[in-house]
Chain A
Amino acid sequence: MKYGVNELGYYGDFGGAYIPEMLYPNVEELRQQYLNIINDAGFRAEFDQLLKDYVGRPSPLYHAKRYSEKYGANIFFKREDLNHTGSHKINNAIGQILLAQRLGKKRIIAETGAGQHGVATATVCALMGLECIVYMGEIDMARQAPNVARMKMLGAKVVSATSGSKTLKDATNEAMRDWIANPVDTHYIIGSVVGPYPYPDMVARFQSIISLEAKRQLLEHTGKELPEYVMACVGGGSNAMGMFYHFLDNESVRLVAVEAAGKGVDSGHSAATTFLGREGVLHGSRTILMQTDDGQVVEPYSVSAGLDYPGIGPQHAHLYKINRAQYVSITDDKALQAGLLCSQLEGIIPAIETAHALAQLEKMQFKASDNVIICISGRGDKDLETYIKYFGF
């Protein structure tokens, strides 16, 4: 793959494994084994079976007729919101739990922002009977309370991260600290295409099912395999990378990644990483991150907990730098409005993360013949309280 990772764990200038020695044995074990494990026929069979019978894949590619009318193109929704647990996060969680089992790990840790990855991880741990600890920022625990309850009901222990901005970045720090202290029996299920190599590549492979299916489904719908546009929101970037993956080498397909502008990119309350960030190291990889001149990580802001992260995965940093994908941003207000529009035009209440990608449709200039696939990364159940407050229902 032209845009894939090289044998040193880099995508162009980005990637690598910038980790303290305490994490080296864990990460090295993964690096040596992940490809063998996930390419093994037995693994593939079990993974595919669970995606089909447990997750409910393939997720539909839905031709959104009223959206198509409104935006003057053929708009297709890739329905990751219909997956078991309500988002794309389960694809990766299933893959990593099967991997953890094969590595003989007994204890699973995860970080979560919106709680979707935490719920997905708690779910697969329940399924496999493994102990599960989820780190979640104190602020996120409050704004995604339904997901905290879900994780507890699934038997996970939810630990609040109270340092720094008390959001996703700090939950990730806490999970890494846990992994340092538990180097032998624990597997860390990272929830996005971030972290030290091999995580970005491993998570992208597990999420690539999204574009694998979408290609085939678009062919069924339109007689064409390649759309003109593929769009997705970006927190760390896993649904976007899954949505882009099998289109990366098809240079005619325009890839659009939507970041969270928060209250506006110049407001000081934003998570628009490519716009505000510079190259550096965050959570174990060289990437683009929001930081001060002194190299301190800037606390991001977005109404959407899943996009409230100061970095992006290293492969996204690479695609951004070489202009293979376009990175744009959408404010809180525009996203929430788009969430309402999607609810009322298509009868689908999207996650606020997803609503950022939907809002970008307003800014696009399509031709009537264009086929556009947009990743509906998750459903909005977890966000009802935020929507209710905003719209005063």
Chain B
Amino acid sequence: MNRLQNLFHTKKTNLLSIYYTAGYPELNTTVDIAEALEKAGADFLEIGFPYSDPVADGPTIQHSSETALQNGMTVHVLFEQLKDLRKRVNIPILLMGYVNPILQYGIEKFCKTASEVGVDGIIVPDLPMYEYEALYSKYFLDNNLSNIFLVTPQTSADRIRKIDELSNSFIYLLSSSSITGGSLNVSTNIEDYYKRIKAMELNNPAIIGFGISNNATFTKACEYASGAIVGSAFVKLLAEDNYLEKIPAFVKAIRP
């Protein structure tokens, strides 16, 4: 079992995950931010590695990616920074990024290095299920890495079943079909969607992401899922002065 699987084994509700882009706002604070977030109480983290053309991201994460690239962040640099990760941080860590930088690094080598530095899972929004299953799942499984799939309100029940089969930690439930940085949609349609997922009694717990930005949206999401992920709202905090010192208050405000 990796740390992520362990976590979901022991804790079933109100899980809080935070996303941030490595290399933003400064190149070398990736592990400092992780450490601060763990101390502040986050349950697990998603560290994004930047891509020049992030089609699933809204303006906030686009901007952080652009800045990170200007700062010199690359997959190589990130793995170098994460070498001592496990001396300082214990909570589960996911890497999140687009498929092209992974392909250039080499997907087999990427999985191996990720596992060596203590990463527990990977989220690649534009890696198709078919290619994952046919070509790459071996590298994930050999390295004890969980692959995380996204589900939207438009994802069919059959496909959700298939995703559940291929998953071994959690399923990333999008609050709506949207890019990152929107607001949480709580129309009746969406409630129906969450209820529909809940009724499917999937093997893997669901975590809700996209549009979670404060205590109200976090609490709402936790009514329907095992927890929620905060992304753009945290990336906005990183734009402020003395952001490291502000992390405890930020986390407390989301989940007191």
Chain A contacts to B: CB under 8 angstroms: 8, 16-22, 24-25, 163-164, 169-170, 173, 176-177, 180-181, 183-184, 278-284, 291, 293-297
Contacts and interface: CB of A to CB of B under 8 A. Distances in A.
Interface string B37-68: 00000000000000111111010001000100
A21 B149 contact: yes
B125 interface: yes
A294 B76 contact: yes
Contacts of B131: 16, 18
Nearest to A180: B179
A17 B128 contact: yes
A282 B99 CA distance: 9
Interface string B171-214: 00010011100100000000000000000000000000000000
Contacts of A25: 152, 154-156
B5 to A, nearest CB: 22
Contacts of A283: 53, 55
Contacts of B150: 20-22
A218 B74 CA distance: 53
A18 B55 contact: no
Interface of B: 51-56, 58, 62, 66, 69, 74-76, 98-105, 125-128, 130-131, 149-152, 154-156, 159, 174, 177-179, 182
A21 B69 CA distance: 25
A169 B53 contact: yes
List the 7 closest A-B pairs by CB distance, nearest first.
Answer: A295-B104, A295-B101, A21-B150, A20-B125, A294-B74, A25-B154, A296-B52
Nearest to B76: A294
Nearest to A169: B53
21 contacts: A16-B131, A17-B128, A18-B131, A19-B126, A22-B178, A25-B152, A164-B53, A170-B53, A173-B55, A180-B56, A180-B177, A180-B179, A279-B103, A282-B53, A293-B104, A294-B74, A294-B76, A294-B101, A294-B105, A296-B51, A296-B69
B23 to A, nearest CB: 12
Contacts of B99: 18, 281
A294 to B, nearest CB: 4
A192 B152 CA distance: 28
A181 B177 contact: yes
A170 B54 CA distance: 10
A106 B177 CA distance: 18
Looking at A173, A281, A282, the one whose CB has the most chain B CB atoms below 10 A away is A281
B179 A21 contact: no
Nearest to B58: A177
Contacts of B52: 164, 296-297
B125 A24 contact: no
Contacts of A297: 52-53, 100
Looking at A164, A183, A295, the one whose CB has the most chain B CB atoms below 10 A away is A295
Contacts of A163: 62, 66
A22 B128 CA distance: 12
A281 B104 CA distance: 10
A181 to B, nearest CB: 5
Contact of B152 (A16, A22, A173, A291): A22
